[in-house]
A and B are shown apart, each in its own frame.
Chain A
Amino acid sequence: MNIDSNLNKLLKIVEKPARYIGGEFNSVKKNLEKVKTRFGFAFPDTYEIGMSFLGLQILYGVLNREDDIYCERIFAPALDMEAEMRKSGLPLFTLESKTPIKDLDIVGFTLQYEMSYTNILNMLDLGGIPLTKQERGEDYPIIVAGGPCAFNPEPLADIFDIVVIGDGEELIVTLCKKHAEWKKSGKNKEELYKELCHIEGIYIPSFYEPEYNPDGTIKNIKKLYKEAPDSIKKAIISNIDDAFFPENAIVPFIEVIHDRSVVETFRGCTRGCRFCQAGMIYRPVRERSKETIETLAKKMLENSGHEELSLLSLSTSDYSQFEELATSLMKMCKEHNVSLSLPSLRLDSFSFKVLQEIQGYKKSGLTFAPEAGSQRLRNVVNKNITEENIYSSIEQALELGWSNLKLYFMVGLPTETLDDLDGIVEIAKNVVDLNYKINGRKGGRFNVTISVSSFVPKAHTPFQWHGQDTAKEFRKKHMHLKDKFKSIRGVTFAYHRTDTTILEAVFARGDRNVTKPLIEAFKLGCSFDGWSEHFNNDLWLKAFEMTGTDVNFYASRERNYDEILPWDHIDSGVLKEFLIKENEKAKVETLTDDCRLGCVDCGVSKRVKCEMGGSHA
């Protein structure tokens, strides 16, 4: 079938057809005859979201730098396009060469959030590829996964042939090169996996098989291939300054979520918030030098023509030379007539100076993330900021003319009581009062948004044993807050829906038994679960019921330290003893310092040199 003529017809019918055409500036065309390994980078959401993801640009660039590898992009079609594709029998295709994904050598999915899992199944299905590796056998492409959710790959263990754990930009090239050699050899897939499993960061799920206790917990993880490693160490790029960075990023035709040039300043985070998975799995902190960042920023802007530059890291202000970097980038952006956007700033006096300069009279909203409403609970989660920190920043913001403030909190944190929630209300009230004090009763438009998300315990964090609140408990807490906020003027209260929170918890800490309800939910029609307008909880409940899955076993059950967790054989570099120690410290409301002030012995320095550990001691 000719994809082009069929596609051409569909594109006249669907919304935003440019999502599906490829050919953007800096996208790569290669002679298909001359490449050995054809890799499809699959992002399980729409084009606009996927193209805003820096990881895609990095891996696309690093793979296409190799002559014998061709990396193309695959996105989840929007619902209207999917319906048309199914109706006309058009299989899911790559944007670059419009090749059906079934004809590629490797299809690699990035796992950014659990709620995208049904989209992965849907994309395989749309591509005419059987969902499980048993069904695929020797035919069909090799299906690979990576990204943060790959640190607990078990819910998708039957789907993926290979899971890539940790930093991907070197590992993915090795994987493709090994594949090219293997392809020439004519051996079967198992032979390739046997070779790959010795590489740091590569996990072959089929080489392991969990055995279960009668209560459903894991008794033991049995190895089916005895040469496979007992635990899979994540891949770590020790020197990020020398690592590949996409100076020639693809510039989308249509507006995407983040339509700008982005430079990653550092990877990892030293703060050690106990709920934060990113803060644990991306250790150690590795910084790019200021000079490299400046050079990259300049080149990226020149090569893209973008109007905006942004920096990416887990905590912008923690960069060692942040003041110097911000100052020099501000100057550069001004010269190039480009706006600068600095996300997740710690709001100290320097940041305000920067924000004043880059936002000028067009002040966007300011966001604060105290995470918890009381000092007690902030100590529990190790969010090392005090009430004074919060109020003094807010005072400055108000004095400088910001009138739209947003405060983020979490509900359902370990040890949380209604008193802690009342603390959120208290903070909101105090912010409103501060505004009256500074701007007077007629101070013009002013709004505080209090946004609460629901806590999802994640694998590889100190709270990985914690039993999540039940839907009922979440609802009670939301209602409690909603009630209290009713009477406060100038405050907008927003909270997340509970059903997706529970689902996220099931897949964040699920074992191989949650694959069945996942497949069932997909078959019942679930996709785009992260989009509230598409999410259908009834179908999910039905899928759990049909497969006899106890949601509480995964979400709200408290685990003990002796239990073998489904992801225990995945080694993030952070020791389990450290996570236990942190969880115990949480129970007694004790803080652990930022590890720049002194190494906290998380274990990662045993793997690689940890340059920031103790750097500010």
Chain B
Amino acid sequence: MHRYIIRFSKLGYIKYISHLDLMRLFKRTFKRMGIKLEYSQGYNPHPKMGLAQPLSLGYESSGEILEFETVNNINDENIIKTFNMAMPEGIKIIEFKEIKAEGKSLAAITEFAEYRIKLPFKDTMNQGIEVMNFINQSEIISQKLNKKKELIDLDIKSMIKELAINKKEDELIIFAKLDAGSVSNLSPELLIKAIGDYYQIEYDRSEVEITREAITFTKKLQF
């Protein structure tokens, strides 16, 4: 058994395929490339393959990480090139590595995800957005739906590891490093909501562009 990771980007129109579509795409690509994946045991076997964290539909990414286990060793010197030939436009493999077969899944050790968000805004009221005011709040309040589908207030400050807001002429460029993974997870949507509410920005969600730039882990990946 061999365990590998690939780092890849998902840019352009292909951001509109869902996580499950992407998994099927990889499964079929491996098949086309003649790479045999390991399968789980049991009644309904599934291939041993997974993303560190699913990416929301409509988000681009320049740093997704997929791990997978194969039956045979991959010894193709030009494996990245081979991969990219087999991939559709928009998915590009940046890095390929074999990792230690033992150890937790990437999903289990995912700690942070970094996002770049473009939030269009028109400073019509000339309210003079002072970016530090938002960041320096003692608590950052956003809203989310609870299990009863009621909107509740939530302080997200502790889940924001890093935050930078850059004011441009007609947009805010936000860089955020947010909790990700099974222990604590913050969706960038909540951050966008908090920023929008704080500055009373009117924006159309369909004009917001989100790119995930990196995922980091609790421990360094062992190569």
Interface residues of A (CB under 8 A from B): 9-13, 17-18, 20-25, 27, 29, 251, 253-255, 302-307
Contacts and interface: CB of A to CB of B under 8 A. Distances in A.
A305 B18 CA distance: 19
Contacts of B14: 21, 23, 253
Interface in B103-124: none
B76 interface: no
Given A12-B58, A305-B27, A21 B13 contact: yes
Contact of A12 (B12, B18, B31, B205): B205
A21 B28 contact: no
B74 to A, nearest CB: 17
Nearest to A21: B13
B16 interface: yes
B143 interface: no
A10 B16 contact: no
Interface residues of A, dominant DSSP = loop
User: How would you classify the secondary structure of chain B's contact residues: helix, strand, loop or mixed?
Assistant: helix
B97 to A, nearest CB: 23
Nearest to B12: A23
B88 A17 contact: no
A302 B18 contact: no
Given A12-B205, A18-B16, A21-B17, 14 more contacts: A9-B206, A11-B13, A11-B16, A17-B16, A17-B57, A18-B21, A21-B16, A29-B89, A253-B25, A254-B17, A255-B21, A303-B32, A305-B29, A305-B30
Interface in B148-165: none
A495 B38 CA distance: 46
Contacts of A22: 13
Given A12-B58, A23-B88, A24-B88, A18 B18 contact: yes
A13 B16 CA distance: 11
B90 interface: yes
Given A13-B206, A21-B14, A251 B28 contact: yes
A303 B27 CA distance: 13
A24 B87 CA distance: 9
A373 to B, nearest CB: 41
17 contacts: A12-B58, A18-B16, A18-B18, A21-B13, A21-B14, A21-B17, A23-B13, A23-B90, A25-B28, A25-B29, A25-B88, A29-B89, A253-B21, A304-B32, A305-B28, A305-B29, A305-B32
A295 B207 CA distance: 48
A12 to B, nearest CB: 4
A23 B12 CA distance: 10
A304 B31 CA distance: 8
Given A17-B16, A21-B16, A10 B28 contact: no
B21 A12 contact: no
Contact of B58 (A17, A305, A306, A307): A17
Contacts of B18: 18, 254
A391 to B, nearest CB: 35
Interface in B166-181: none
A12 B204 CA distance: 10
Nearest to B28: A305
Chain B interface extent, by class: 20 to 34
Contacts, number: 63
A323 B90 CA distance: 44
Nearest to B14: A23
Contacts of A253: 14, 17, 21, 24-25, 88
Interface string B196-222: 000000001111000000000000000
A302 B27 CA distance: 13
Contact of A11 (B28, B30, B58, B86): B58
Q: Which 9 interchain pairs have the tightest Cβ spacing?
A: A305-B28, A305-B31, A17-B16, A21-B13, A12-B206, A305-B32, A9-B206, A253-B17, A18-B17
A21 B11 CA distance: 12
Nearest to A24: B88
A29 B14 CA distance: 15
Interface string B2-26: 0000000000111011100100110
Interface of B: 12-14, 16-18, 21, 24-25, 27-32, 57-58, 86-90, 204-207
Given A17-B57, A303-B32, A254 B89 contact: no
Contacts of B17: 18, 21, 253-254
Contacts of A21: 13-14, 16-17
Contacts of A304: 28, 32
Contacts of A10: 206
A304 B24 CA distance: 12
Given A12-B206, A18-B21, A23 B89 contact: yes
Nearest to A301: B31
Q: Among B27, B30, B206, which residue has the most Cβ atoms of chain A within 10 A?
A: B206
Contacts of A254: 17-18, 21
A225 B82 CA distance: 57
A9 B86 CA distance: 29
Contacts of B25: 25, 253
Contacts of B31: 305
Nearest to B36: A337
A360 to B, nearest CB: 13
Contacts of B32: 302-305
Contacts of A29: 89
Nearest to A23: B89
B84 to A, nearest CB: 13
Contacts of B30: 305
Contacts of A24: 88
Contacts of B16: 11, 17-18, 20-21
Most B Cβ at <10 Å: residue of A9, A22, A255, A305: A305
A18 B19 CA distance: 12
Nearest to B33: A305
B135 to A, nearest CB: 27
Interface centre among B17, B27, B58, by most chain A C-beta atoms within 10 angstroms, is B17
Nearest to B86: A25
Contacts of A25: 25, 28-29, 86-88
A358 B203 CA distance: 54
A605 to B, nearest CB: 43
Contacts of B87: 25
A51 B28 CA distance: 17
B22 to A, nearest CB: 8
A302 B34 CA distance: 8
A374 to B, nearest CB: 45
Q: Which of B21, B31, B86, B207 has the most CB of A within 10 A?
A: B31
Contacts of B58: 11-12, 17
Contacts of B27: 305
A10 B207 CA distance: 9
A255 B25 CA distance: 11
Nearest to A336: B31
B80 to A, nearest CB: 18
B17 to A, nearest CB: 4
B92 to A, nearest CB: 13
Contacts of A27: 88
A99 to B, nearest CB: 15
A26 to B, nearest CB: 9
A261 to B, nearest CB: 11
B186 to A, nearest CB: 21
